[in-house]
Every structure is written in structure tokens, then in C-alpha cells.
Structure 1
């Protein structure tokens, strides 16, 4: 069966996701992430690509890009082939690293553009890997916050910040507030793997059922072993993120994630 052609974006802007085949890890150590970013930066320049946001997770990558001097699919193929070649050489393996071709969605209005930026930056927080968006070193968030990142040339933040204000100080403050705001953003999710995110009220009801006679407010005061057992049970609730569970239980997201 032939592949369905990608729908072209009127703005040339796309949210792109690459996932490891069978959800396998694609980055095993820091050097792998650095190599991917160096390849990304190389083809950003060659193809005159604009990169508004990026995030490297363990088994997938998120990019928010504007198509450059060649078709986006061509640029992504160059990046993918280069990284797979490096990966296979380093780990002495072969075969598919990525799950089929990259997935993408068109981004054609300002509100959704900003939503995708926030979604990408909050990926590590919602996965329970860090507590704050700027604690994750492998995304463009730290660059937006004026913090050290892989390369200042990798992402183009002036356009996004300009949407908040023409005054840089005001723009930075407004961006940070927006970037860290609570939300139920779901961008480019995969139906086969994702269920609708529970509302906080739905989540509380589900958590109460798992707790039995224990009140939610008392969980954080329980002995460590008992708390961890509860966290492990709560994590089985479909549609409940680690961050949401932590907020309801009054503990840190990292505690829930480590359980």
C-alpha cells in the first residue's frame, strides 16, 4: 500500500516527532544526544531550516520547525540517515532505529504554534523526569530562558518571543509564565498508545478508589515503603500523568516517577 502524502502547511511550519522503533531508546548517553544535535544544526544551516523548539527524550524527539530551501521530508531524511549511520557504527548494530518515517502535523495559527512550543518544553516534566521545564538540559527551553544550552544557533527564539511583546524583558516574563502554565495540551499524540488525559476531578476519583480507606491528604505522611507502594499503584491509572498524580497527592513528580 502506498503511503499517504503529508498535508502541506500554509505557513510551512510543522510539529515533527521521531520515535524509536518498538519504542526503543535512541539515546543511551550524553554523547548520542550531542551527536544528534550537531547533525540537526548542520542540516538546519544547509537547508535554511527554522527551529522554534526542540526536545530530546529517551526514545523520541520533538521538533517545531519551519520548512527551508527544500522539502521538509528531504531534510528530515538527511538528518535521520546521518544519525542512524552514527548509531549503527557506534553500537555495532543494523536495522531500523526509528519507527517508520517521522510523524508530523501542520501548524497554521499563532495560538497552536505557542501551544506546541509549550507542549514540547513540558514533555520531560509530564514524563516525571524533572520538576521544572528549565531543569531538562536537552530542550530549547533553557535557551529561551537565557540559560546555557547546546548551541545558541540551533533554535530561533526571537520570532516566538516577539509574539508576546516587542519589549524583550516583558516578552521573556510573559513567555516564561505561559511556558510553565498548567495545561492539558495533547499535540501529535498516537491513538494506539495514548488515552484521553483525565481531568483533575476524574483523577481524584480514580486515586481514591485505589487508596481505599486512606485519605488523599494523608498519603504524603505515610511511611516511605507504604507511600512508594501507593505511587506504584496510582501510576497504573490510565490517562493520569505522573505530574498530575503528584499534584493531587501533594508530593514531587520525581517521587512518583521513581516509584
Structure 2
């Protein structure tokens, strides 16, 4: 299969995701996370990449990287090789640890940059590993508050905090906003997030109209239409699933999409 060339970012920033091969857990304990951070820092010191944000989960990694495509690809390749050598030797195994080709998406502007940062920092919260982003040890969230972190690029940090006028309070508040955009994520986690967004929309409208379940709103077409429009805009679920969750049909969902000329 021919590989699609990576899109080049005019800002120089990329959101990168690396996941375990065959969906495997790759960070079984703290020592492996420390070693990954060491290898990441080595690439920073060698000048291949700069890191604006990061989060190490148990089976994947999110990075907000400043670099050019060639240097970034080379840095990720070196990290993969060195991490795999140590990991395979430790667990007496062979083969890839990370999937061969990491995923990346371009960051288009400052607004996109801080949204991606928020998404990365809130990964452990969404996964119910912690209740607040600041409680997670393996991310760069606290690097922007009071923790010295040699990994986080000082210029990126200064620029990002400048967007919040240097206010830690505003930085914290920004991380509490529900995410509406979609970023690089594991397929299974993305599906779970979409379902959760859809459930929150339904719950909001049920509470707003003082009903216990959405079935009680089926005969109120204007309300149901409003719910489906918001689910189409925010949940990105397939029409079939939206129909199931709202007690309607795929035909109704399709007609609402056409009515509002939604993609």
C-alpha cells in the first residue's frame, strides 16, 4: 500500500500520536515511561524536535511537536528503535513495540494549538484515570503552572501562556471547557468519546424540558430536530447510531441533515 505523504504545517506545529503495536500496552510501569521521556528529551537536545505538550498513556502517547516533517520523522524513528531494543530485551520478545507509522495532524493556528494542548492534557481525565489534568504525573500540564520541565519548549510555553495573558487561572479554566473538536485518538477511544458527547446532549435536553427520557420528546418534532442537529454537529456519530439513540429512523436523520445543509 502506498503511503500518503504527510501534510506540512505552516506553523511548524504537529499533533503526533504513537500507539502500541497490535493495540498492546507498552508502558507497564513507571520505568518505561521514564525511559520514553529520556529518549524524547534526547531528541530535543539533539535539535530534532521541540515539545509544546505531551501525555504518556498506558498504550499510546500524544505529543505536540514543533519541527519540520523530516526531522520529526527521524526523531520518532530513533525513539521507536531505542525504546523497542530496551523493551524487547527486558521482556524477552521480538518485533515492533510501536506501530510502524505514527499519526500526525497539522496545527493551523494559535487557537488550534491550545485546543490540541487541552485535548492532550485531558486524555487521562477522559479515560477516568484522574479527576483533574493536574493530578496526572505523565503529562506536561503542570509544566505550565509551577513545575520545571526540561522537555517543554520555553518559547512555545511563553507563546501559549501569552494567549492567556500569563494567567494561570485562565489556563486552568481553559482546560475545564468541554472539547467539541476531534483530534488524533485511538479508534476505540474516539468511538467512546462520540457516544459520551451524544449522551450529554440528550441528557441536557431531557433536563431542559423536564422529562426522564428522550422517548418523551419524540412527538415534539421541533425539539427532536434541535437535538439531532446538535448531535450531528458535535458527536460525529453515524446517522444509524443517532437514530437509535433518539428513537427515530435514519431517514429522519438524513432529512434533517439535508434541511440544514450539514455535511
How big is the shift at 1:126?
Answer: 0.5
Query: How has the CA–CA distance of structure 1 residues 80 and 203 changed in structure 2, closer, same or farther, with 3 Å as cutoff?
Result: farther
Unaligned runs of 5+ in 2: 207-211, 214-236, 238-263
What is residue 95 of structure 1 aligned with on the other side? 95
Q: Which moved more, 1:193-202 or 1:172-181?
A: 193-202
Distance between the aligned counterparts of 2:189 and 2:69, measured in 1? 34
1:34-113 to 2 correspondences below 5 Å: 34-67=34-67, 71-113=71-113
2:152 alignment counterpart: 155
SS for the counterpart of 1:101 is: coil
1:227-238 pair list within 5 angstroms: none
* CA-to-aligned-CA distance 1:152-176 (integer Å, 9 cap, x gap): 21012222112221xx4xx222111
The total of aligned residue pairs comes to 203
Residues 1:192 and 1:2: Cα distance change in structure 2 (over 3 Å): farther
Contact 2:6/2:69 (<8 A) preserved: no
Residue 14 of structure 2 is matched in structure 1 by 14
CA distance in 2: counterparts of 1:19 and 1:141, whole angstroms: 21
Distance 1:193 1:123 in 2: 10
Q: Given that residues 48 and 75 in structure 2 are in contact (C-alpha distance below 8 angstroms), is that contact kept between their aligned partners in structure 1? A: no
Distance 2:22 2:100 in 1: 10
Q: 1:193 to 1:34 in 2, by over 3 A?
A: closer
Q: Give the secondary structure class of the aligned counterpart of 2:53.
A: strand
Q: What SS does structure 1 have at the residue aligned with 2:122?
A: helix
CA displacement at 1:69 relative to structure 2: 9.8
Q: Which has the larger helix fraction?
A: 2
User: In structure 2, which of residues 172, 178, 182 is the aligned counterpart of residue 176 of structure 1?
Assistant: 172
1:135 aligns with 2:131: no
Deviation at 1:120, TM superposition (A): 0.3
Cα RMSD (Å): 2.5
Q: Structure 2 CA distance, aligned partners of 1:203 and 1:125?
A: 20
Aligned-residue offset at 1:2: 2.1
Identify the residue that residue 116 of structure 1 maps to in structure 2. Answer: 116
Instruction: Tell me if the contact between 1:47 and 1:69 (Cα under 8 Å) persists in the aligned partners.
Output: no
Q: What CA deviation, in whole Å up to 9, does each residue of 1:129-158 have, x standing for no partner? A: 0001000000001111214xxx62101222
C-alpha spacing 1:61/1:146, structure 2 compared with 1 (3 Å): same
Describe the shift of the 1:27–1:192 C-alpha distance in structure 2 as closer, same or farther (beyond 3 A).
Answer: closer
What is the CA–CA distance in structure 2 between the aligned matches of 1:84 and 1:139, rounded to whole Å? 22
Residue 183 of structure 2 is aligned to residue 187 of structure 1: yes
TM-score by length of 1: 0.71
- Is the radius of gyration larger for structure 1 or structure 2? 2
Whether the 8 Å contact between 2:14 and 2:106 is mirrored in structure 1 is yes
* CA distance, structure 1, for counterparts of residue 54 and residue 187 of structure 2: 22
CA displacement at 1:47 relative to structure 2: 2.2
In the alignment, is the contact (CA less than 8 A) between 2:54 and 2:61 conserved in 1? yes
Q: CA–CA distance in 2 between the matches of 1:109 and 1:199?
A: 31
Going from structure 1 to structure 2, the CA distance change for 1:22 and 1:104 (only over 3 Å counts) comes to: same
Instruction: Give the deviation of 1:194 after TM superposition.
Output: 3.0
Given the superposition, is the C-alpha separation of residues 125 and 95 from structure 1 closer, same or farther in structure 2, using an over 3 Å criterion? same
SS at match of 1:31: helix
